[in-house]
Amino acid sequence: MNAISKLPGRSAALLCLAAIASVMFAQVCLTVKHEDFKTCEQSAFCNRHRTFADNMLKQPQTASPYSVVKNSVSLNGHVLTAAVEHSVEKVPLKFELSFLDSGALRVRVQEEAPLKPRFDETQKVVLRDEGNSLPYVSPESIKMVSGTTDGVDTHTISYANGNTSFSVRMAENPWSLEYLVDGKPAIQLNSKGLFRFEHLREKPAEEQPAEDASGEWEEKFRTWTDTKPRGPESFGMDICFNGFEHVYGIPEHASPLSLKETRGGGKGAYDQPYRLYNLDVFEYELDNPMALYGSVPLMLAHSAESTVGVFWMNAAETWIDVSRQKGGGAFGALFGRGSASQPPAVNTHWISESGVMDIFLLPGPGAADVYRQYAELVEPTPLPREFSLGYHQCRWNYIDQEDVLSVNSKLEENKIPYDVIWLDIEHTDGKRYFTWDQPKFPDPVAMQQELARNGHKLVNVVDPHIKRDSEYRVWKEASENGYFVKNKDGSTDFQGWCWPGDSNWVDYMNPQASKWISEQFHLDKYNQSTTDMFVWNDMNEPAVFNGPEITMDKDSKHYGGWEHRDVHNIFGMLYHKATADGLCTRESPATRPFVLSRAYFAGSQRYGAIWTGDNTAEWSHLQASIPMILSNNVAGMHFVGADVGGFFGNPDAQLLTRWYQLGIWYPFFRAHAHIDTKRREPWLLGEPYLTYIRDAIRERYRLLPFWYTLFREASLTGMPIARPMWIEFPSEQKLFAAQDSFMIGSSIMVVPATEPDANQVIEVNFPTQENWYDMKTHALYIAPLKRQFSLDLSTTLVFARGGSIIPTRERQRSSSALMKRDPFTIYVYVSRAGTASGKLYVDDGETYDYKNGAFIERELTFAGAKLTSRASPLTKDTLAYNEYLNKMAKVRVERVVVVGLRNPPTKATVLENGEAREIDLDYNGFASDSECVIRDPAVFIGGDWDISLS
């Protein structure tokens, strides 16, 4: 929900304030107001660094002014330290290079003796175990060799451990760093000389002259003034991806998957850097690098030879310039330095306002290696509640209790499976969260119990702003305990405007405040809540209607004396965490939470799902959802979706149908709509659209075992759920920028229809030397192949990759909860070599018992016309495992479908528990598109068994 979209009608109190009324009415227009948000030129620190880059590049022979202080380099354990100074400023900077066992390299920079402490809490919020247990290398496994190369003193650090080896070379004068792969630089720091570090300093005795627009000590934007009491403290670094042409990630932006150039590019390039600064942007604009709701400063570079990454761990406002350098030395305008012999490269320039420079270089060399290295730092996406992978029905707002139960009944009446119905802010008593509007919801517990009768859940929105009301228990307790964010004076509470009117914001940097807010989600505090109710965190960028850029003033104060500028991009994640903690601890033993958050940062994946915010019911937004979903997955935010149907506006039946057909392939699948839109629940469209949408949703539910198994993989490896094509086909260059098709895991390719034509022709590129099968007809396509398909509105293009085994549950139920004891169907899509493999993972979908071994995980293989099921190596013979195995003892495989056998078998022999039995087969299809069906092999999912075909 957006700060501006319904401001006049949602709070009568807001209308009483002339100070913001003009803002309200001006922004009802359906387009982003660019003047509300800064450009780089209006962000003083960004402008200073970009100007510095321009000046450096006007003199291409000018070297970086930073060099290593003589005899300051030392290697102690896993850390190399060095002092680096500016040639004029002479303020020593402490460089720390820490080497991790995975091959990742950590680079930290701050003053050796800072005038004041810099904010360095981001690592405690983001990293695994607050950064205390990162897997650094053993000291004896690394060595440093110092020498001179081309007259420059260098230090090369090498490491080898099993299959992992790397080397890093640091030059002293000017200072630069290269990460070498096979002896060639893959990632380079300061190779273009753009490193700049604004050391902390005393404010000059005299005020700067009026014409000084540097904004070092005070910065104005429209009617707001940022007092900047600490002065300038920003820093920037150029990072070159040598030998690469494509970079990805750094969400959230409504921009293409392969990041565009922001300086020196040609037609279609941007003239502004990508910005990371969590903001509530009304009617965001497509194909634009401006900041949106979330910020993940993780960038991957990919070529046919390797994949590498950079994680820039900083929670302050950050800007990133991108420029491509073609092979042969034809540089872009920004980075016009080098020789004609240089390979292609992507040059980036990272700039942050405050804090400590803390960078992780992730050397790969493959995408799976990068995700393993990143997951070691920030932890992967944990297993979610199983119901959360189903369909979520939402709008702003279901009017009352009767409306909620009517929607529930209609969904069941029309045989549309769903798991969750959602309530937006109108369900509360005057926007006082943790309350109900009693006249509209007279018995919330009975309502939740009625939903739960068929396995359905409720999600309520709980935003971070707290209405200022002395009679409101939540506000009163927070105020009395001093839990709110403070003004710049550090003593009075910061207040601003949001949905309830005059509001305060809890300071989640304060551990006691965070614990207190978590407790508000407990059953004894959240009146008339039940364990079947979950939570949606909206507006947590934070959105402040009357603040600069619709957010909190940067000089506001947080616990510990830190300014909001230091913590802005982790604010929403801290609230997300506090909410998830509250749901975890509201019952004993703890159960897995479900929390959806609009704002996020690196690490937010640990606490729940996110979505792409307030999109629009237009075909262009349907198309844009694909790169936005993929970019988030590239950056480790796997559990992500987009509002199906578009939040703003009224989709026609064709657009809404196509959006459902795509939306079932979002990891998080929710339909949502603005309060001013027409009701658009699927049955309201009539036929044939109801059937098309119901079929799509049923397909999601049929594949829930596959989805849940994928999330298990992500929880172990960090690999994305929704994957750009290049991740699965890393050597096929034509796919490096592809966003018209994508993979779900390694097994399913989705080619969505996103054009406004009921009948259209779509060209599909089937990659690699492999078989592909239409998942509906099982028609075979032998790649590499380019093929055109004619589609009507009932048709979708989804293909199973040869060599895949995909588990499903075919019985239609009204919710995932009612499927828990249903039998499974196993689909075997045979590769060109006659083989296939896959997994099936099952646990209770609710508790943390799986951490004690209470799960079933089977490795399924097909080779030599034999399907085999064996326990995964992670299966342990524990009490918890055996208890769960007994609970699932009667859950069986009711059908096996083998697709792609050229020689049709007539008999299957099942071997289980040492006993063999024979089954006659059904066979359908043609010699090239065969489908062999083994009906009721009567094998159980928890045991070892073989099925041989002959």
Question: Exactly one of 463, 538, 581, 843 is catalytic; which is it?
Answer: 538
CB contact at 8 A, 773 and 802: yes
567 in Cβ contact with 558 (< 8 Å) = yes
In this structure, are residues 52 and 162 in contact, taking their beta carbons and an 8 Å threshold? no
DSSP letter (8 states) at residue 741: S
Active site residue 555: no
Phi, psi at 410, each rounded to 5°:
-65, -40
Show Cβ contacts of residue 587 under 8 Å, excluding neighbours closer than 6 positions: 523, 531
941: tokens are 């999912």
Please report the beta strands in 538-651, taking only residues with DSSP state E, as ranges in sequence order.
Answer: 595-597, 600-601, 609-611, 640-641
Contacts of 388 (CB under 8 A, 6+ apart): 419, 420, 594, 609, 639, 668
The CA distance from 76 to 393, in Å, is 56
Sign of CA dihedral 939, 940, 941, 942: negative
CA–CA gap between residue 104 and residue 308 (Å, rounded) = 10
First-last CA distance in the chain: 58
Q: In 10 A of CB 28, how many CB atoms? A: 12
Q: Smallest Cα–Cα separation from 815: which of 499, 398, 562, 454?
A: 454
Sheet holding 457-461, edge to edge: 640-641, 609-611, 595-597, 533-537, 457-461, 420-423, 391-393, 669-671
614 is a catalytic site residue: yes
Catalytic residue among 463, 614, 643, 843: 614
Dist CA 374 CA 364 (whole Å): 10
Using alpha carbons, list the distances in angstroms from residue 649 to 5, 676, 916: 11, 8, 61
- Using omega within 30 degrees of 0 as the cis cutoff, is the peptide bond preceding 627 cis? no
Residues in the chain, overall count: 950
Which helix (H) or strand (E) segment is 524 a member of? none
- Report the distance separating Cα 465 and Cα 542, nearest Å: 8
Cis ω for the linkage preceding 688 (within 30 of 0): yes
Q: Which residues pair with 168 in a beta bridge?
A: 157, 179
The DSSP element (H or E) to which 886 belongs, if any, is: helix 879-887
Taking the CA atoms of residue 238, residue 241, residue 245 and residue 251 in that order, the dihedral angle to the nearest 10 degrees is -70
Q: Give the three-class secondary structure for 765.
A: strand
Inter-helix orientation angle 564-584/511-519, to 10°:
40
Strand ranges (DSSP E) for 291-390?
A: 294-295, 298-302, 307-312, 318-325, 345-352, 357-362
- What does the buried/exposed string (b/e) look like for 357-393 if buried means 16 or more CB atoms within 10 Å of the residue's CB? bbbbbbbbbebebbbbbbbbbbbbbbbbbbbbbbbbb
Provide φ and ψ at 71, rounded to 5°: 60, 25
Q: What is the 3-state secondary structure (H, E, C) of 832-863?
A: CCCCEEEEEEECCCCECHHHHCCCEEEEEEEE
Judged by DSSP in three states, 239 sits in strand
Question: With contact defined as beta carbons under 8 Å apart, do 62 and 56 qualify?
Answer: yes
Whole-number Å distance between alpha carbons of 478 and 483? 5
Q: How many CB atoms lie within 10 A of CB 224?
A: 14
Residues taking part in catalysis: 538, 614
